Structure 1
């Protein structure tokens, strides 16, 4: 995550927030009140439907706002507190990475404020999660027939929730053969991915639909 993120106050102007976003190359800013409590978040999306950008921008992507008066206020007010989103999805500092990724996807948001004891300590963004993915490496190939068998058994069992049936596999003198009739092409691809991650490319593929 990004620690000690730049924040704004509800009483700051939208122009101030826009300047920070541009200069710091961020797409959203946490909003803290005078007690340093998180009260909202202001994003690029909040600022792109402004009267400064013309009527077309105000209505872009919006179908019949449920509260026209609130929409009118957000498109014209100079205060961050009027424009910001107050329903903020947050996580605790010890939240697992997988949970954070799930929340970003489910809520279709780009960032999650991170708190400790009710105080903002950071922001975890999609970019932060991508950096973890980019730092990953393929698993090392397993050596030895018995080790390969055990690894295949474990990883195929791990994928049992997405496989209608388990394939057969044979390991002899370092050569791997995989057989079976699978329920779909995607299930075949899952099995192939698992076998290649364990034994490397070049195994004998006898999987069928």
Structure 2
């Protein structure tokens, strides 16, 4: 799946010369937390978000430092913070360093950018122009569309068991022949050993995601690798 398949387009943006009142009002009316700042020729020049309005003199929330710490901060940095706390135009408070992506980018790359740079939205740029934006909400919508809606295919218990076994065999945490699977009337039963308690939930999820599984019974027991102590499965 590519960025172009889930992005929001056309983009709701704001011009650099717009007032912060207009930007804040637009965010509230559209129920969004940030806006790309786009020139009249379509070129992206920044991002303005709720975070840019946190340190404001009107709210009494502008940054305050002790005298000795103020002495250590450069005058330029203090001046920059003053503009951010008192500016009236979007281009005075926006973030100029913008993380962007292309419409052909894979979703895994887009998510990697979001997590690495700790951003909630990534403009999609083509030919120097903004053609869309991918937000966390877009990813949630894509996830919702991708979740199984129910499988009408009738599978036998053995077919279900084989699918669970295959899924477990493909996972590096599951070990080799450590988890044994039985299926009766769509109810999967997991037996065997795990070497880390976190593997229990992973095994349950692996079974739950197989079409035809109605429920999963957990009979796994945990073996502490160093001591060999066995912890019985949950009652």
TM-score by length of 2: 0.73
Counterpart in 1 of 2:171? 159
Selected match of 1:87 from 80, 97, 105? 97
| Secondary structure in structure 2 of the residue aligned to 1:7 | coil
Q: Residue by residue, what CA displacement relative to the aligned partner does 1:43-95 show, whole Å, maximum 9, x if unpaired?
A: 111123222222xx1139xx987822211111112221121101111121122
Does residue 1:169 correspond to 2:173, yes or no? no
Superposition map of 1:118-129 within 5 A: 118-129=128-139
Counterpart in 2 of 1:58? 62
Tell me the CA shift for residue 4 of structure 1: 1.3
| Secondary structure in structure 2 of the residue aligned to 1:3 | coil
Mapped contact 1:5–1:122 kept (Cα < 8 A): yes
Worse-matched range after superposition: 4-13 or 168-177: 168-177
Superposition map of 1:123-162 within 5 A: 123-135=133-145, 136-137=147-148, 140=151, 143-144=155-156, 147-160=159-172, 162=173
| Secondary structure in structure 2 of the residue aligned to 1:112 | strand
Mapped contact 1:156–1:166 kept (Cα < 8 A): no
Mapped contact 2:188–2:216 kept (Cα < 8 A): yes
* Count of aligned pairs between the two proteins: 204
TM-score by length of 1: 0.81
Does residue 1:77 correspond to 2:81, yes or no? no
| Secondary structure in structure 2 of the residue aligned to 1:109 | coil
Mapped contact 1:92–1:115 kept (Cα < 8 A): yes
Selected match of 1:28 from 24, 29, 34? 34
CA distance in structure 2 between the partners assigned to 1:98 and 1:24 by the alignment: 27
Counterpart in 2 of 1:208? 221
Mapped contact 2:164–2:181 kept (Cα < 8 A): no
Counterpart in 2 of 1:194? 206
> Which blocks of at least 5 consecutive residues in structure 1 are unaligned?
none
CA 1:8 to 1:170, structure 2 compared with 1: closer, same or farther past 3 Å? closer
Counterpart in 2 of 1:99? 109
> Which blocks of at least 5 consecutive residues in structure 2 are unaligned?
1-6, 223-235
